[in-house]
């Protein structure tokens, strides 16, 4: 991932779906298209798609069509530069943040005239905020550039100029102002010495921005730190001299969506819509590896190790968010006791259990768990961000809980912190001791709330994944992965028998055994080999020796798909029953009721707690499952 691509392409947003155009057409026909339009603006739209969505929204507004749940917001813009090319991006982006945005654009370059006189665009308009989009080129210093090293009063005169504009606009229209800092110029005349020389661009802008920040805070207005935005993407990327000369554009056109993001985050924050809680997955999100399979010493979370340090950086970022008042929760498919081990015992773990307000580690679907966390915290779903390395889990939450913000994550965990923070979910327009201490209140409240919630429908979502499975006997191509899964999988493993490569080859060649290696793919890609089965054939009764599955594909009905393939094979060879055994271990509790859920009956339980199960296969009807077999 290139740094500028992250911001230019809004990489934290999911990619545009194939049916985007069809959905957009549906939005034009609905009586209340607000929810659909918000959903469609939740993707990383290119500029043409942004314009199409914005046109539908503005047309709908003019037609007095109800856009609920989008909340109306009226924004005025005054600028020394051309802003008309920004307006569609503002309108479309605002919808993603829950606003039906109306933009009132003052004439180009008439900043002071607008402030002191009247402008048609602002007549009879009630505005919620006014964006004063003035950059360095619009300040009075440009008319009389002073000599280098000369003592001047350019900073104060520029501040007074902005102060007059802001004061007049607030007095006239009764709306707060959003005021921009100025981006530095990429060019220098003295090199690194520029910052020390009076009246260089760098020295002036640096001094001006510092003073402006203090003035904005004193007046109670809102700051849009364009200087920081430009530095983030790179000054050379921010400034486009050709487009400035041709069309007086204040910054590169490719950065319009990112700029609109920044403005709409301010609007959301000043309207109380900033996110307040971060829900965290654990395995391969806060540490490398799977704690249930790899154990405490096997997960990657150590200084001096590249991968381990990447996950430490994730934790450090999360911890800083916690310190500024973001409440933390855990939502992980894991055994609760196992999931807590790193928090309690790993010497390099930065996050502790005391930082977590609600800890939900179980094998249930994450949708009801997240709803339960929200209820426990007494927060709406719109206050929540969910961080998970698994693209299927991310899409599952977006599908069922569209109010929850779910950032796309790159493959390399080194970029997780940058991506999370670039998404701007926790934008702030103020910060107080109350904000800093808010976490304590949430943690106390979490102890008072019940811990159950009804689950949502999973099957409708599973169908959207377009899952395909390949079930094949063991072969030489898969032998290494089969042995690896048998030796490593601890949680979804009914017996935890550890067959070595020689034994696996014997099973593969022996006609008295049914062997299955199972691969699963979906719309997000190939999950690879995720399940292994070894079944001993007898004339009338087959016995399942080994059945294991990767936990990352739990709750997708793959277990049933595999079982019914065993049933089909057994019927073809005249078997009447299938039996299996569950041998409990410290880590495989999640499959304690596995056979029960598949319709088996318990035959006996021995002194070790192992249970033997059996089912008759004659009357088993194979249901329609959301997985196609290839």
What integer pLDDT is reported at residue 404 of this predicted model? Answer: 96
Once rounded to an integer, what is the mean pLDDT over residues 591-617?
A: 93
pLDDT in tens, 426-478: 998 888 776 777 777 676 656 544 333 333 577 888 888 889 999 999 999 99
- For 352, other C-beta atoms within 10 Å of its C-beta total 11
Cβ proximity of 251 and 227 under 8 Å? no
Tokens of 607: 């002194």
More confident residue, 144 or 422: 422
Q: How much is the pLDDT for 456?
A: 57
Q: Where are the domains of the chain?
A: 72-270, 277-456, 462-629
Instruction: Quick: pLDDT tens for 399-409.
Output: 999 999 999 99
Q: For residue 316, what pLDDT band results from cuts at 50, 70 and 90?
A: very high
Question: What are the C-alpha distances in Å from 489 to residues 431, 471, 486, 520?
Answer: 46, 19, 6, 17
Question: Which of the four pLDDT bands, split at 50, 70 and 90, describes residue 142?
Answer: low
Calpha distance 208→216 (Å, rounded): 12
**Percent of the chain topping pLDDT 90:** 68
540 Cβ contact partners less than 8 Å away, ≥ 6 residues apart: 574, 575, 576, 577
pLDDT over threshold 80, residue 90 = yes
Give the 3-state secondary structure percentages of the chain, helix then strand then coil, rounded to 5.
45, 20, 35
Q: Is the pLDDT of residue 136 over 80?
A: yes
Q: Please, are residues 366 and 393 in contact by the beta-carbon 8 Å criterion?
A: yes
Q: Spelled out in words, what is the top-level CATH class assigned to the domain 72-270?
A: alpha beta
Amino acid 447: pLDDT: 55
- Provide the b/e sequence for 303-341 (b: ≥16 CB within 10 Å): eeeebbbbbbbbbebbeebbeebbbbbbbbbbbeebbbb
Look up residue 478 and give its DSSP letter: G
Q: For residue 375, what pLDDT is reported?
A: 87
Helix (H) or strand (E) holding 321, with range, is helix 306-323
Residue-level pLDDT at 445: 58
Please enumerate in sequence order all residues whose Cβ is within 8 A of that of 148, keeping only pairs 6 or more positions apart, or say none: 189, 197, 198, 199, 200
Alpha-carbon dihedral angle through residues 330, 301, 325, 258, given to the nearest 10 degrees: -100
The Cα 16–Cα 47 span in angstroms is 12
Q: Residues near 43 by Cβ (< 8 Å), separated by ≥ 6?
A: 13, 14, 15, 16, 17, 20
Mean pLDDT of 595-614: 93
Tens of pLDDT, residues 161-199: 999 999 999 888 888 899 999 999 999 999 999 899 888
Q: Which fold has domain 277-456?
A: Rossmann fold (3.40.50)
pLDDT of residue 451: 32
* Cβ neighbours of residue 391 closer than 8 Å, sequence gap 6 or more: 408, 524, 525
Average of per-residue pLDDT across 297-322: 95
The architecture CATH gives domain 462-629: 3-Layer(aba) Sandwich (3.40)
- Of 396 and 436, the one with more pLDDT: 396
pTM for the model stands at: 0.86
Model confidence band, residue 355 (pLDDT cutoffs 50, 70, 90): very high
Distance CA 589, CA 593 (A): 8
Q: Are 185 and 202 in contact (CB under 8 A)?
A: yes
Q: How far is the C-alpha of 384 from the C-alpha of 279, rounded, in Å?
A: 7
Over residues 587-591, mean pLDDT: 89
Q: Could you give phi then psi for residue 310, rounded to 5 degrees?
A: -60, -45
Burial (CB < 10 A; 0-12, 13-18, 19+), residue 10, is buried
Model confidence at 58: pLDDT above 70:
yes
217 vs 340, which has greater pLDDT?
A: 340
Find the mean pLDDT for residues 339-348: 96
Output the CA–CA distances (angstroms, integers) from residue 310 to 116, 300, 331, 419, 550, in the order listed: 54, 9, 21, 13, 24
Q: Would you state the pLDDT for residue 232?
A: 95
CA distances from 8 to 5, 99, 102, 132, 379 (A): 5, 22, 24, 23, 32
| pLDDT attached to residue 252 | 94
The model's confidence at residue 143, banded by pLDDT at 50, 70 and 90, is low
Which pLDDT value is given to residue 553? Answer: 85
Please provide the average confidence, as pLDDT, over all residues in the chain: 90
Q: Which of 298, 300, 297 is nearest to 311 (CA)?
A: 300
Query: Once rounded to an integer, what is the mean pLDDT over residues 269-281?
Result: 92
Res 446: pLDDT: 66
Tell me if domain 277-456 and domain 462-629 are identical in fold: no
């Amino acid at each position: 991932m290139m740094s500028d691509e992250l911001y230019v392409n809004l990489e934290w947003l999911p990619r545009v779906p194939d049916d985007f155009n069809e959905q957009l057409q549906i939005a034009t026909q609905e009586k209340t298209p607000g929810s659909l339009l918000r959903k469609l603006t939740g993707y990383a739209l290119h500029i043409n798609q942004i314009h199409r969505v914005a046109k539908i929204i503005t047309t709908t507004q003019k037609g007095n069509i109800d856009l609920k749940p989008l909340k109306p917001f009226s924004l005025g813009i005054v600028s020394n530069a051309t802003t008309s090319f920004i307006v569609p991006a503002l309108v479309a982006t605002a919808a993603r943040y829950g606003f039906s945005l109306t933009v009132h654009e003052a004439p180009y370059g008439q900043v002071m005239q607008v402030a002191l006189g009247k402008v048609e665009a602002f007549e009879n308009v009630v505005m919620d905020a006014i964006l004063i989009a003035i950059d360095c080129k619009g300040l009075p210093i440009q008319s009389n550039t002073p000599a280098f090293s000369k003592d001047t009063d350019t900073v104060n005169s520029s501040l007074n100029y902005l102060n007059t504009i802001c004061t007049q606009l607030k007095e006239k229209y009764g709306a707060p102002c959003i005021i921009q800092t100025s981006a530095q110029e990429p060019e220098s005349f003295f090199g690194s010495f520029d910052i020390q020389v009076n009246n260089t661009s760098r020295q002036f802008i640096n001094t001006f921005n510092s003073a402006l920040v203090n003035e904005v805070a004193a007046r109670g207005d809102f700051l849009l730190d364009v200087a920081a935005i430009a530095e983030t993407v790179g000054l050379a990327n921010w400034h486009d001299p050709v487009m400035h000369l041709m069309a007086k554009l204040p910054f590169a056109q490719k950065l319009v969506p990112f700029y609109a993001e920044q403005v709409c985050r301010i609007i959301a924050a000043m309207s109380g819509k900033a996110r307040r809680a971060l829900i965290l997955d654990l395995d391969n999100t806060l540490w490398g590896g799977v704690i249930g399979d790899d154990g405490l010493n096997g997960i990657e979370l150590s200084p001096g190790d590249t991968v381990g340090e990447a996950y430490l950086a994730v934790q450090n970022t999360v911890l800083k968010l916690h310190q500024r008042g973001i409440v933390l929760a855990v939502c992980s498919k894991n055994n609760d006791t196992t999931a807590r081990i790193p928090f309690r015992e790993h010497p390099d773990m930065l996050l502790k259990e005391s930082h977590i307000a609600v800890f939900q580690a179980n094998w249930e679907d994450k949708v009801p768990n997240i709803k339960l966390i929200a209820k426990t915290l007494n927060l709406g779903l719109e206050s929540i961000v969910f961080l998970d390395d698994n693209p299927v889990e991310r899409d599952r939450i977006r599908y069922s809980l569209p109010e929850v913000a779910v950032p796309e994550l790159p493959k390399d965990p080194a970029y997780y912190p940058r991506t999370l923070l670039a998404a701007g979910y926790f934008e702030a327009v103020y910060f107080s001791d109350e904000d800093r201490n808010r976490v304590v209140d949430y943690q106390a409240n979490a102890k008072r709330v019940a811990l159950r919630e009804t689950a949502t429908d999973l099957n409708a979502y599973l169908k959207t994944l377009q899952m395909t499975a390949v079930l094949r006997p063991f072969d030489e191509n898969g032998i290494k992965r089969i042995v690896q899964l048998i030796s490593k999988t601890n949680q979804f493993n009914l017996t935890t028998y550890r067959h070595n490569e020689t034994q696996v080859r014997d099973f593969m060649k022996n006609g008295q055994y049914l062997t299955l290696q199972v691969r699963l793919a979906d719309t997000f890609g190939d999950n690879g080999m995720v399940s292994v089965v070894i079944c001993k054939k007898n004339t009338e009764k087959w016995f399942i020796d080994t059945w294991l599955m990767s936990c990352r594909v739990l709750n997708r009905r793959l277990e049933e798909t595999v079982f019914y393939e065993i049933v089909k094979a057994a019927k073809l060879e005249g078997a009447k029953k299938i039996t299996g055994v569950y041998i409990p271990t410290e880590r495989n509790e999640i499959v304690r009721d596995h056979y029960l859920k598949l319709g088996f009956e318990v035959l006996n339980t021995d002194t070790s707690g192992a249970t033997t199960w059996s089912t008759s296969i004659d009357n088993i009807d194979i249901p329609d499952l959301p997985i196609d077999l290839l």
